[in-house]
Amino acid sequence: MLSAKDFAPPDEKCISIIQKLRWKDGVRCIYCDSGVVVKKGKDKRGFQRYLCRGCGRSFNDGTNTIFDKSKLEIWEWFYLIKESRSRSLYSIALDLGRKYEHVWRNAKKMKEYLLAKKIASKLRGDVEVDETYVTAGEKGKRQGRLGGG
């Protein structure tokens, strides 16, 4: 019989998707932003672990994400993310054999996380626009000052 797991990518595939999205510009330390980071084996869930040569701290693919310290398995997160777009959390909980409250709490966490991500990227965009504006404004002022003597 097919189970929910048959409709989710295998963990290795999920992890490679996470890595592509998270480290698209190369792995950088999540604490000090150093690019001098070495691979240090894998954790129990299969996430790649990294050691930062800059600050000496270590982290993995899931650190500071919804996958961090979560009781849901990685494929369950992918199942939840995919299925919650079109189906009720109640039926997803049944598929996963999880308590509804547990799935609901994680779905809430996921939505907050995605919203925070969206806000962050929106702010980044706005800050870039602001910087261009400010830089242009300062140039204008400087020229004005020079022009004015």
Nearest one of 77, 25, 4 to 47, comparing CA atoms:
77
Q: How far apart are the first and last CA of the chain?
A: 84
Cβ(34)–Cβ(52) below 8 Å: yes
Consecutive H or E run containing 21: helix 11-22
- Minimum gap (Å) between residue 37 Cβ and Zn ion: 7
Q: Which is nearer to Zn ion, 8 or 52 (CB)?
A: 52
Question: Footprint of Zn ion on this chain (CB under 5 A)?
Answer: 29, 31-32, 34, 52, 54-55
- Minimum gap (Å) between residue 43 Cβ and Zn ion: 18
- Minimum gap (Å) between residue 50 Cβ and Zn ion: 9
Cβ(40)–Cβ(51) below 8 Å: yes
Q: Which is nearer to Zn ion, 33 or 128 (CB)?
A: 33
Q: Which is nearer to Zn ion, 46 or 54 (CB)?
A: 54
- Name the DSSP letter for residue 47: P
Q: Which is nearer to Zn ion, 32 or 129 (CB)?
A: 32
- Minimum gap (Å) between residue 61 Cβ and Zn ion: 16
Nearest one of 88, 80, 74, 73 to 109, comparing CA atoms:
80
